[in-house]
Amino acid sequence: MIQAHAMAARIACARMTILHLTELHDSVERACRLATGSQWDRKAAAHAEFFGLLADVADDPLLGPLLAGGGAYLRQVMLAVGRGADGMIVSSRRRLLAHLRVGDGEGAALETERHLRGLLYMWRLTLPSGKAATNEVVT
C-alpha cells in the first residue's frame, strides 16, 4: 500500500494542473478547519480524502485497484492512532503540496512514503502487545 501511494504521488506530480493543486489544497484546509477534539472521526476522514484526490489525479489503471480502498484504510489507521497525529498529518500534507507545486515527483513520493510509514508505525504502537508482532501490513 505504501509503495502504491508513493507511486501515485509521483505520477500525480507529472499530471498536476492548477485545478488539481487547488482541490488538494482545499482538501487540506477543510481538514484543518475541523476541530481535532470532538470531531476526530470527521477530521480523519477529511485527511484520508487527500489520498483519494491524489489517486484521481494519477489516474493510473494499474494503481487504481490498489488505491481504491486506501483512503478508507488510512482513515481507520488515523482513527486508531488518534488526534495526537493531527499535527504530523497536516505538516506532511503541506510538505507534499509543496513538492507537487514545484513538480518534484521524487520528493512527493518520498514524503508520501515517509508519512505513511510513520503513521503505520504509530498505529502498530496502539495495538495490544500480542497483536503488534503478528499484524502484517502490506508495504
Would the pLDDT of 138 be above 60? no
Confidence of residue 27 (pLDDT cuts 50, 70, 90): very high
C-alpha cell at 63: 494503481
Mean pLDDT of 42-54: 90
Residue that is written with C-alpha cell 482541490 in the block: 23
Residue ranges of domains in the chain: 2-134
Would the pLDDT of 136 be above 50? no
Q: 53, exposed or middle or buried, with CB in 10 Å at 0-12, 13-18, 19+?
A: middle
Tell me the DSSP string of 49-85: HHHHHHHHHH--TTTHHHHTTHHHHHHHHHHHH-GGG
Q: What pTM, to 2 d.p., does this model score? A: 0.86
Mean model confidence pLDDT for the chain: 88
Q: Which of 18-22, 45-49, 58-62, 65-69 has the lowest mean pLDDT?
A: 65-69
> Going by CATH, does the domain composed of 2-134 fall within 1.20.120.530?
yes
Contact 43, 119 (CB under 8 A): no
Any idea of the CA torsion for 21, 25, 31, 32, to the nearest 10 degrees?
A: 160
- Report the distance separating Cα 34 and Cα 27, nearest Å: 11
Q: Which of 66-70, 80-84, 133-137 has the lowest mean pLDDT?
A: 133-137
- Report the distance separating Cα 59 and Cα 80, nearest Å: 29
